[in-house]
Amino acid sequence: MTRRLRFIVAIGFGLIAVVAGIGLWSAVPGRRASKPPNSEAIIKHAFELAPANQDHELESPEIAIDTKGCIYLVWTSREKEGQKTLFIANSIDNGGTFSEPRVVSRSAIHVIELQGDQGATQEMGMTPRLATSGDNVSVAWAQSVAENSTVCLVSIESNDGAQSFSTPSSVNQSLEACPSFASLAAWNDRRAYCWLDVRDQQRQVMAAHRHRENGVQEHSVFTLQAAAQTCQCCPTALAFDSQGQLFVAFRHDNHILLAHAKDHSSEFPSIITLAEVAPAAARCGHDCPSLAIDKETVHVSWTDAKTGIPLVYCATARLADMVFQTQAIHADTKNSQGNCKLQSANGTLHAVWEEEPPAEQFISIGSQEDTDAFRQSRVIMYASGPMRTGVFEPARRVDDTLGAIQSRPALAVNQNGEVLIAWNQSEGLEQSVVVKRLIAE
């Protein structure tokens, strides 16, 4: 049996349960609202997470919208110790109602040893990712395989609003890859994936293209050099431009890098250093970067603590010259920022991120109203501006729930320019994934 055949067999056995679960989805249609929701009404939904998630870091949810207006939301939850479950819910009435959550997959939690950190280990998340192209939606995640000895990046697709899905298949072509911190993008009938890879005893940024006719093709984007400052847990970011050219953004050794594959090629001859960043003492750099591209401009965001306070920055360049200008998205604050996500739509650049006030703001000697004002220890912020300039209008808070800790936002924009934002929320012992449609100001 060849190595390639062994790999396919191993993946096949690991995904039997996933295939069985997907086969049931066609019998669970999305719920419709009794009447179309008022576009000015506050639309907000919360999906509760199991108690087993207490005292564990939550992964970011993902949200996407197809050209028919169907909204997709995916997230993970630790249903019991040692196992995570990937859920999906969708809405066909502009977020008025969502279907009941459905299980995409269950996966044992894989633990890896961190290089250069004696005895330190890290749990690998399922890292759910979504991408839409037309009325097609693709879902990708990290699935434990081979008796939890490694993980594979798995992908499925749907053309009927998530009522049924294709058979899961592995993107990485080696069981030694152990892909982590993946990203996903879609353009016409092409799908692109990017992840951190450890095959051949070296860390590298890998990318793969999937075309309906040509299958999966893998290519190395960048080899990560072993160094004391090399971050081992920084997500990659991936995006196509309007012509189908692929961009990859990633962080290495406290530098933000942007790779560009020209002319639909799978090679990445051009790698640009956008910034050297100072990591925050109390925040891992794994919340960066993010990418947004339209017909003329490319935007990359990341977190930098060079001023002493972690702030989110956005670099903007014309695709014609790739000369970047960088600015803080929301500089007029003493709050710590991070986990910024960008989205482009109809000539507008949208950004969401989390902010956390300094510790001294929680000390109140005034009235109860003063105490309530700072009871939110972390909030989600939003700002937007023209794509051509990358200059943002004043930021605003997404949600005013008192006593909540909000983190790891994601956003999507429909064809009417309406913004939907999802995030993790903790209120005491209760945790949930929240999705909210913003009201235009």
- CATH number of the domain at 343, please: 2.120.10.10
CA distance 220 to 196: 10
Q: Are residues 260 and 298 in the same domain?
A: yes
**pLDDT of 11 above 80:** no
Model confidence at 121, in pLDDT bands (50, 70, 90)? confident
For residues 212 and 277, membership in a common domain is answered with no
- Give the model confidence (pLDDT) of 186-234 as tens digits: 999 999 999 999 998 888 999 999 987 678 889 999 988 765 444 556 7
Whether residues 292 and 255 fall in one domain: yes
Report pLDDT for 41.
Answer: 60
Give the total number of structural domains in the chain: 2
The answer to whether residue 7 is domain-embedded is no
Give mean pLDDT, residues 63-74.
97
Q: Dihedral (C-alpha) 132, 138, 142, 147: value to the nearest 10 degrees?
A: 170
Are 47 and 195 found together in one domain?
yes
Please check whether residue 213 lies inside any domain of the structure.
yes
Higher pLDDT, 366 or 437: 437
224 or 22, which is more confident?
A: 224
Among 71-80, 153-162, 262-271, the least confident range: 262-271
22 contact partners, CB below 8 Å, separation of at least 6: 104, 156, 164, 165, 167, 168
- Domain identity same for 256 and 133: no
pLDDT for position 117: 57
pLDDT value for 231: 54
- Using a pLDDT cut of 70, give the percent of the chain over it: 81
In a domain, 134, yes or no: yes
Would you state the pLDDT for residue 31? 34
Question: Residue 393 above 60 pLDDT?
Answer: yes
Residues 58, 190, single domain; the answer is yes
18 domain residue, yes or no: no
The domain boundary residue, chosen from 230, 262, 294: 230
- Return phi, psi of residue 17, to 5°: -65, -35
Those residues whose C-beta lies under 8 Å from the C-beta of residue 172, and which sit 6 or more positions away, are 152, 153, 179, 195, 197, 206, 208, 218
pLDDT 10s digits, 129-144 = 999 999 999 999 999 9
- Asked if residue 437 has pLDDT above 60, the reply is yes
User: Last residue of a domain, which of 230, 251, 272?
Assistant: 230
| pLDDT, tens only, 266-320 | 688 889 999 999 877 655 545 679 999 999 999 999 999 999 999 999 999 999 9
Check: CB of residue 138 under 8 Å from CB of residue 131.
yes
Q: Can you say whether the dihedral through the CA atoms of 262, 266, 269, 270 is positive or negative?
A: positive
Residue 6 lies in a domain: no
In a domain, 220, yes or no: yes
Same structural domain, 93 and 209: yes
Q: Is residue 149, in this structure, part of any structural domain at all?
A: yes
User: Does 429 map to a domain?
Assistant: no
Cis bond before residue 289 (omega within 30° of 0): yes
**pLDDT single digits (tens) 318-351:** 999 999 999 999 999 999 999 999 999 999 999 9
Residues 166 and 255 in one domain: no
User: Domain residues for 292?
Assistant: 234-360+375-397
**Is residue 217 located within the same domain as residue 249?**
no
- Max CA separation in the chain (angstroms): 74
- Res. 6: pLDDT tops 60: no
Q: What is d(CA 149, CA 11) in angstroms, rounded to the nearest whole number? A: 12
Residues 342 and 388 in one domain: yes
| Same domain? 321 vs 221 | no
Mean pLDDT of all residues belonging to the chain? 84
The answer on pLDDT for 425 being more than 90 is: yes
Q: Which two tokens stand for residue 132?
A: 């839409």
Q: Are residues 181 and 289 in the same domain?
A: no
Residue 39, pLDDT > 60, answer no
Question: Looking at residues 151-169, what average pLDDT do you find?
Answer: 96
Q: Where is the domain boundary, 188, 208, 230?
A: 230
Q: For 166-175, 376-385, 408-417, which range has the lowest pLDDT when averaged over its residues?
A: 376-385
